[in-house]
A and B are shown apart, each in its own frame.
Chain A
């Protein structure tokens, strides 16, 4: 198994709160890796540090053998890591198609001069971006809403659109922050199928999720965070039996490092 992403001793402190302390984990190419933990365990902070929204206080990420730049989201995306948000963040006034096209921004390079003169490179790039965006809408199954404004889509479709937009950046690692939050049972099943399809196409998935059933059914390996520390990392069946994990979820059984 080839290692895709390695987190080495990541630490992040907000004032008096140690949100992440010494978190190390390894994600292998082609797997679905779950990150779970009680509310406030530091899962989303881990995402934000990974994708460059925050700068870590300590540690580093090694992606494809190279250290990731910290605190520079656009460079992280360029390296091949894309993310979605826990609370959906679409470009509300743009159409679904344009949302996905915007996601392709980092893989295009038409200059202002090229746009002004509409040279061949710009026109061709624009055509490819449009077609690719449409293909991605098809991929997540919402191509019939291509020209609808993003804010008018249903909740489930907005989630799918966000995934399509993240895929448009051509990632090797797709980081999904609670994609099933607020979804009903049918939508969750569809989402599970979509994630499996994404994995099938060779994209590694990092998944934060509360829906334990979804995580256990989907993930190859799971890490559990509690109060900013990694307390377990294993295949789902083993993690479910882990006493520290049970303690963290039920409270009391595990001594927390406050």
Chain B
């Protein structure tokens, strides 16, 4: 949270208190502003929160522990499909979200450990290739497990997932306050997702400033030295993979139940790369960076999609570039510019792995 406040340009360093309130105000007020432009934009914000959750989880693996994972979306798929199996008409099982969510988290964590074990000795490029393969394997499994026994319903995906219900309160229904005034279900999802994101930020920030976070950072900086001071790198890697996967699994459940539909094509390699781009673009090893990266890279394409056609028509009289093409073009351009101008991301990691306040009494200053 402090890190996020400090990341606010200009205000962050001068008046962190004000910046903190600004961040809170934006987080709470964003959907209200978005609603003025239409419901689509609230939906975009909902998805942005899901991407934040994904980016936070991947940042834990890539940024904190230094394990380049190109198949992260597989855990998202595990979460989403767990929700589809346990809360939809597909198997006619309808478990409540309070059971589905922890189960999905467990399954994803198990998948994380299953991926972690064989790749313990790999680093860098080799690790990236194997994780990439893992991501594709999971997707292909989902695509083909409809024969001989129909488990995943193949490429058609699974429909009509149960919406999230909190204490019997269905998030997918609008709350009718008066006849005129209603709270849209998109808002309810937004605040529910926001609560999940806030919880994750607290958890991850605490992890970072702990013996576990330091052990990860040590392993990332120099694995041999980390071993030499007694860090059990095997356990720490498995912990990073499984915790990272847990976040992927949880956001997968939220994604599936929010969208009401899952299919293998949502979990392609491009999605893995998109999430990794968010982490790298925002600033690796940095909670604020992952959040800002996720917001920008998930919302900008949507803005572009809505602006590209009318702007081109106004300028040239016809559409020169398809918005989808333009999106990839601009994304590549953004990455190139970033590599040239800010190689360590939008918000470079100035990560702290210790509570310096414990030493304040001794006159140690930051």
Write the residues of chain A forming the contact surface with B, with a CB cutoff of 8 angstroms.
51-53, 73-74, 77-78, 82-83, 85, 89-95, 97-98, 101-106, 108, 110, 112, 115-116, 118, 122, 125-127, 129-131, 133-134, 143, 146-147, 165-166, 168-169
Binding site secondary structure of chain A: helix
* Chain B residues engaging chain A, CB cutoff 8 angstroms: 203, 206-207, 209-212, 214-215, 217-218, 220-222, 224-233, 239, 243, 285, 349, 351-356, 358-359, 362, 364-366
A165 partner residues in chain B, CB cutoff 8 A: 229
**Closest 3 CB pairs between A and B?**
A77-B230, A106-B230, A89-B225
Provide the bound-state CA to CA distance between A97 and B362, in Å. 14
Q: How far is the CB of B172 from chain A (nearest CB, A)?
A: 30
B229: contacting residue among A52, A102, A134, CB under 8 A = A102
A–B complex contacts, Cβ < 8 Å, 23 sampled:
A73-B230, A74-B230, A77-B228, A85-B224, A90-B222, A93-B220, A94-B353, A97-B354, A98-B214, A102-B214, A102-B215, A102-B229, A105-B215, A105-B218, A108-B211, A112-B212, A122-B210, A125-B211, A127-B355, A131-B358, A131-B359, A146-B359, A165-B229
> Taking the nearest CB of chain B, how far is it from the CB of A166, in angstroms?
7
A51 and B228 contact, CB distance less than 8 A: yes
**Which residues does chain B contribute within 8 Å of A131, judged by CB atoms?**
358-359
Establish whether residues B217 and A53, one from each chain, have CB atoms under 8 Å apart when the complex forms: no
How far, in whole Å, are A98 and B359 apart by their CA atoms in the complex?
12
Q: Return B240 CB to nearest CB of chain A, in Å.
A: 11
| CB-defined contacts of A116 to chain B, threshold 8 Å | 203, 206-207
Q: Which residues on the B side are within 8 Å of A118 (C-beta)? A: 206
Starting from the known contacts A77-B228, A89-B222, 15 additional A-B residue pairs (CB-CB under 8 Å) come to A77-B230, A78-B230, A85-B225, A93-B349, A95-B352, A98-B352, A101-B354, A102-B217, A102-B229, A105-B211, A105-B218, A112-B212, A125-B211, A130-B358, A168-B229
Contact A129 B353 (CB under 8 A): no
Asked if B228 contacts A147 (CB within 8 A), the reply is no
A residues near B215, Cβ cutoff 8 Å:
102, 105
CA distance A169 to B226 in the complex (A): 12
Q: Determine whether the beta carbon of A91 is less than 8 Å from that of B206.
A: no
**Is the beta-carbon distance between A105 and B207 smaller than 8 angstroms?**
no
B328 to chain A, nearest CB (A): 32
Contacts of B214 in A (CB 8 A): 94, 98, 101-102, 105
Contact yes or no, A83 B228, CB < 8 A:
yes
Is the CB–CB distance between A93 and B231 below 8 Å? Answer: no
In the assembly, what is the distance between CA of A53 and CA of B353, in Å?
27
Q: Are A169's CB and B225's CB within 8 A?
A: no
- B365 CB to closest chain A CB (Å) equals 7
With A90-B222, A94-B221, A115-B210 known to touch, is A103 a contact of B229 (CB < 8 Å)? Answer: yes
Query: B217 touching A98 by the CB < 8 A rule?
Result: yes
Residues on B with beta carbons closer than 8 Å to the beta carbon of A115: 206-207, 210-212
Whose C-beta in chain A lies nearest to the C-beta of B362?
A134
B227 CB contacts on chain A under 8 angstroms: 52-53, 73-74
Closest to B364 in A: A146
B363 CB to nearest A CB, Å: 10
Q: Which of A98, A116, A130 has the most CB of B within 10 A?
A: A98
Interface centre among B206, B228, B285 (most CB of A within 10 A): B228
- Check if B222 sits within 8 Å of A91, measured CB to CB: yes
A77-B210 CB under 8 A given contacts A91-B217, A130-B359, A134-B359: no
- Give the residues in chain A near B285, CB-CB below 8 Å: 93
State the CA gap A126–B211 with chains docked (Å).
8
Which residues of the partner chain B approach A95 to less than 8 Å between Cβ atoms? 352-354
Partner of A102, one of B231, B243, B364, B365: B231
**Docked-complex contact B222 and A129, CB < 8 angstroms:** no
The answer for the CA separation of A101 and B358 in the assembled complex, in Å, is 13
- CB atoms of B358 and A127 under 8 A apart: yes
Minimum distance in angstroms from B40 CB to a CB of chain A: 36
- What is the distance, in angstroms, from A151's C-beta to the closest C-beta of chain B? 9
Complex Cα–Cα for A98 and B350 (A): 13
Report chain B residues within 8 Å CB of A82.
Answer: 228-229
Q: How far is the CA of A66 from the CA of B225 in the complex (A)?
A: 25
Contacts of A78 in B (CB 8 A): 230
| A166: B residues at CB distance < 8 A | 229
Closest beta carbon of chain A to B129's beta carbon, Å = 25
The residue in chain B whose Cβ has the minimal distance to the Cβ of A130 is: B358
Given contacts A91-B217, A115-B207, whether A74 and B359 have CB atoms under 8 Å apart is: no
The CA of A146 and the CA of B362, in the complex, are separated in Å by 12
A147–B285 Cα distance when bound, in Å, is 18
* Chain A residue with the shortest CB-CB distance to B235: A74
In the assembled complex, the Cα of A98 lies from the Cα of B229 at a distance in Å of 13
Closest CB of chain B to A177's CB: distance in Å? 10
Rounded to whole Å, the gap between the CB of B57 and the closest CB of chain A is 15
A203 CB → nearest B CB, Å: 16
Contact between chains at B353 and A105 (CB < 8 Å): no
Q: Which residue of A lies closest to B243 (CB)?
A: A112
Q: Report the nearest A residue to B232, measured CB to CB.
A: A74
The answer for the CA separation of A99 and B195 in the assembled complex, in Å, is 34
In whole Å, how far is B271's beta carbon from the nearest beta carbon of chain A? 27
Residues of A within 8 A of B358 (CB): 126-127, 130-131
Tell me the complex Cα distance, A163–B52, Å.
40
Assembly CA distance A250 to B352 (angstroms): 51
A53 with B364: in contact, given A91-B222, A98-B217, A105-B215 (CB under 8 Å)? Answer: no
